Structure 1
């Protein structure tokens, strides 16, 4: 499972459990809380009415509903009412008032149902007659909790003694609508809370995962070949800036950038050492072998041959070292001097002049044609790139052939009439130390010439492309146009 889904489910689970327990507490506490409030109201009502009923009970006027108290409560339950209690509509008066004497016999019933009945055994009446707090809840239908009725009794005092009991009762169904409404509101609020929690969880997860992905992408770019490590600088990834992130994630990104810089330098050196060691093995071995043979007694012609071999391999080592130094300096450069300008025609002529003697020795003609162009390029670097292309063309061209240098706007192409390069190997041209056999079967090159050309074109914002001509090979340098 992906990190984002794990975080989301964990967040949702925690909030869901929290919402469940909170809702459960609210749901469990609603009904008891409403009943507590109702009982509190009944207590105050009972004690207030008990005070009013005391005079009629002392005068014996409660029996028969002839007293002032009874007449004032007559028709109480049938009185019409239209009241809005917050968002709940009330249309009936549900409180029942009863008065009993000191023996628990009912003297007055606001509903007129139980007058003359003996209530002395009811808990609320018995406790009140003993001077204690009397209250009870009784179901009218034993199996139906909704039929329960709350009773609260208050003593009626006459001359300081308990002469009777006034009981105020209220059915639970009268407040059940309030309870149901409250439960529905809490359920709706809980559902909304869960949905909002899910939305917040999605937002937090998206924020965290997006930052982690940015760190992952940055780490992947750190692992990719850099300009110093890639064989083709135009294919290497440019080092991206450190992603801006808050808090510890930002500190982690900074630490990764420091690590990238350290590893890049170390990998660059290690790669060069490995490649250089590989390339030095052949000439060093040849020089050592020739040197050991020269220590022995040899015919003059053999001694001359082995001495020439030492010189040739020494020159090969010198050429390898010079080109490595050139490539190293180029790879350390990141920008050109934009104030400089040069002409492709001038650079081509300089390169041809430097290699003309080598071409004449093999009777190879160097032809220059096309339209000149200039731009914000460095003359020495462009001349070096053209010289390397011409040197490669001379190495692969048979004698008595033509090497053509064609100029076009922001472009120069060097074409030879040699054997070309096998198609599967074209993509590798430009890799450090990669060489192909010369027409004579030797591998005398260093494999750095085209690497230098590729790096020079990268610095100029251009590219190098290679094409087989059959016969021959054409290498084209395309320079970026002026902006």
Structure 2
């Protein structure tokens, strides 16, 4: 299970549990909260009526039809009110008045006149000078069918001369309770969903940051070229971790790189140094002082010169290869014209092309623009041209072409010559691997194609070297199964979209 998924599951459980307990607590508090508010309103109403009924009680006029008609008319009113989305079509209060003994004198429902209510808590407690209230169920076991009763004393000075009770059924406030619970439920659900979405987004963001860091670490561990994803990592701690990884990679790569190159350089320098030393020893031999040995002396001097040149080329190419292998990305990319770059390099080799009587054919695409580092591309293409010249026989043909296929741009350098042996095809870009030149029988440093491969990796492209058949009449090449002249083709392919 991934880290981001574990974080999301823990976060989801935390949000779900917190939301459950909070919503449950709120839902449970809604009902008593609404009923407490209702009770407070009933207290105010009962005390207002107690003051209103004090004079009729003193004058024994409370049981007259005038007040009975008022209470009856009150109970039959239809408010037709819309209260926050809840329609109210009837008055839900019931009002009854008792004397100082608890006998009902007046009832807005006209169901308890003459009955003794002195045993009910609302009347009983009020007659004792206490706060009188009770809740009675209309139907046994149905809490929603209960009725709240609140009483207030009717006083003459400090003497209690009667009690007025105001009742309200809980079912009348149930729609408000349900509406509030429904809205809170919807709001709570929306908040839970928002919390889960936020958690998922956070987990995705963290996973993306960690994935970039992991991919970078895996790429580095495999010895491949990789750039630090620092610019794409927003988190400060993860950015610092990326910087630390890059610093550690640079230190380790530097040490390993120096060790590897010292070993390689030592191995490759042995052969030319041995040849130079042998030639120098022979030049110092007394036998070469004898008459007629001038030709031998010149041969040894030429050998020293050629091996010195080989040493110089080896060191220069090793330095160039070390530079490009250590480079993780392009330093100064610019828009380049591949056609123009090829023409410039062909001009530098014009003397050699003329000396070898090579037939040079060019076939350039109209649009050959790409983004790249000019110095590296110039060096890479020059290596391919030198290889093509080295393996092309006197009077042979070299075809240089650029070709665009959608977002892909190709440079193809095809030279007439002997096919590459099957065993060597897979090793051409291997460091220090080289085939003998047909004209001299000598091998090169074996670093040229390796350098080209590194440059193409930096540019997000590829190098392909293969045997083809060159049809000189069509200035084109076809697969090796077709008729034509044996040739070797080096293809550089860029993503120039």
Q: 1:212 maps to what in 2?
A: 210
Q: Is the 8 A contact 1:148 1:172 kept in 2?
A: yes
Q: 1:12 maps to what in 2?
A: 12
Q: 1:275 maps to what in 2?
A: 264
1:246 to 224, 234, 250: 234
Q: Quick check: 162-171 or 185-194, which moved more?
A: 185-194
* Deviations 1:361-388 (CA, angstroms, capped at 9, x unpaired): xxxxx55223379999999987766555
Q: 2:447 maps to what in 1?
A: 448
Q: 2:50 maps to what in 1?
A: 50
Give the alignment of 1:28-47 within 5 angstroms: 28-47=28-47
Query: What is the CA–CA distance in structure 2 between the aligned matches of 1:352 and 1:240, rounded to whole Å?
Result: 48
Q: Is the 8 A contact 2:414 2:489 kept in 1?
A: yes
Give the alignment of 1:323-334 within 5 angstroms: 323-329=314-320, 331-332=322-323
Query: What is the CA–CA distance in structure 1 between the aligned matches of 2:233 and 2:57, rounded to whole Å?
Result: 83
Residue 78 of structure 1 and its aligned partner are, at CA, apart by 2.0
Query: What is the CA–CA distance in structure 2 between the aligned matches of 1:369 and 1:345, rounded to whole Å?
Result: 14
Give the alignment of 1:107-256 within 5 angstroms: 107-223=105-221, 225=223, 239=227, 242-248=230-236, 249-256=238-245
Q: Helix, strand or coil: the match of 1:114?
A: coil
Q: Which runs of 5+ in 1 are unaligned?
A: 227-236, 295-307, 354-365, 395-400
Query: What is the CA–CA distance in structure 2 between the aligned matches of 1:383 and 1:111, rounded to whole Å?
Result: 111
Give the alignment of 1:329-344 within 5 angstroms: 329=320, 331-332=322-323, 342=344, 344=346
* Deviations 1:411-455 (CA, angstroms, capped at 9, x unpaired): 6544444x7422x5413202212356999xx99765335435656
Residue 184 of structure 1 and its aligned partner are, at CA, apart by 1.6
Q: Quick check: 18-27 or 253-262, which moved more?
A: 253-262
C-alpha change, 1:383 and 1:11, in structure 2 (3 Å) is closer
RMSD of Structure 2 on Structure 1 (CA): 4.8
Query: What is the CA–CA distance in structure 2 between the aligned matches of 1:146 and 1:458, rounded to whole Å?
Result: 78
1:106 to 104, 107, 120: 104
Q: Which runs of 5+ in 2 are unaligned?
A: 283-298, 325-330, 369-373, 403-411, 470-479
Query: What is the CA–CA distance in structure 2 between the aligned matches of 1:158 and 1:448, rounded to whole Å?
Result: 119
Residue 251 of structure 1 and its aligned partner are, at CA, apart by 4.0
Residue 457 of structure 1 and its aligned partner are, at CA, apart by 8.3
Give the alignment of 1:248-267 within 5 angstroms: 248=236, 249-267=238-256
Q: Helix, strand or coil: the match of 1:79?
A: coil
Residue 104 of structure 1 and its aligned partner are, at CA, apart by 2.0
Residue 220 of structure 1 and its aligned partner are, at CA, apart by 4.6
* TM-score, normalising length: structure 1: 0.71
C-alpha change, 1:388 and 1:324, in structure 2 (3 Å) is farther
C-alpha change, 1:319 and 1:135, in structure 2 (3 Å) is same
C-alpha change, 1:224 and 1:335, in structure 2 (3 Å) is farther
Q: 2:488 maps to what in 1?
A: 474
Residue 90 of structure 1 and its aligned partner are, at CA, apart by 0.9
Give the alignment of 1:384-403 within 5 angstroms: 386-387=385-386, 393=391
Residue 124 of structure 1 and its aligned partner are, at CA, apart by 2.2
Query: What is the CA–CA distance in structure 2 between the aligned matches of 1:323 and 1:23, rounded to whole Å?
Result: 77
How many residue pairs align between the two structures?
431
C-alpha change, 1:449 and 1:23, in structure 2 (3 Å) is closer
Query: What is the CA–CA distance in structure 1 between the aligned matches of 2:162 and 2:333, rounded to whole Å?
Result: 111
Q: Helix, strand or coil: the match of 1:22?
A: helix
Give the alignment of 1:397-416 within 5 angstroms: 404=396, 406-409=398-401, 412-416=413-417
Query: What is the CA–CA distance in structure 1 between the aligned matches of 2:446 and 2:256, rounded to whole Å?
Result: 20
Residue 313 of structure 1 and its aligned partner are, at CA, apart by 11
1:347 to 343, 346, 349: 349
Q: Does 1:428 align with 2:417?
A: no
* TM-score, normalising length: structure 2: 0.69
Q: Is the 8 A contact 2:209 2:233 kept in 1?
A: yes
Query: What is the CA–CA distance in structure 1 between the aligned matches of 2:114 and 2:90, rounded to whole Å?
Result: 26
Q: Is the 8 A contact 2:388 2:414 kept in 1?
A: no
